[in-house]
């Protein structure tokens, strides 16, 4: 396998991870019969974003790099909010 083929596989793997975030969001929403964004959505966003950022860096594509890097900040911040609230809630009930 040559270098180009490997990077194409990495790029598609990142895209598959990124696409899974919509699949988990859709399934959760269908089950609840309302629009939901499960925590898994943000983990798939980070996983896909990291892999796609690596691919974009390899391709030396500044537009793609900026888009993926900016998105990673937003995904991480959403997880920070989710787990920060859980930590504060759990901390308040202990003791």
Tens of pLDDT, residue by residue over 14-72, are 999 989 999 999 999 999 999 999 999 999 999 999 999 999 999 999 999 999 999 99
| Enclosing domain of residue 58 | 3-93
What is the pTM assigned to this prediction?
0.80
d(CA 30, CA 24): 10
Please give the residue that has the higher pLDDT: either 10 or 89: 10
Residue 94 pLDDT > 60, yes or no? no
Domain count, the chain: 1
d(CA 73, CA 40): 16
Residues near 77 by beta carbon (within 8 Å), at least 6 away in sequence:
none
Residue 95 pLDDT > 80, yes or no? no
């Amino acid at each position: 396998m040559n270098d180009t083929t490997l990077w194409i596989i990495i790029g598609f793997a990142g895209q598959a991870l990124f696409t899974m975030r919509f699949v988990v969001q859709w399934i959760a929403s269908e089950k609840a019969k309302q629009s939901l964004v499960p925590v898994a959505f943000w983990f798939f966003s980070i996983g896909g974003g990291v892999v796609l950022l690596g691919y974009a860096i390899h391709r030396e594509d500044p537009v793609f790099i900026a888009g993926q890097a900016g998105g990673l900040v937003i995904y991480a911040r959403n997880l920070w909010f989710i787990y920060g609230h859980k930590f504060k809630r759990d901390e308040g009930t202990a003791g």
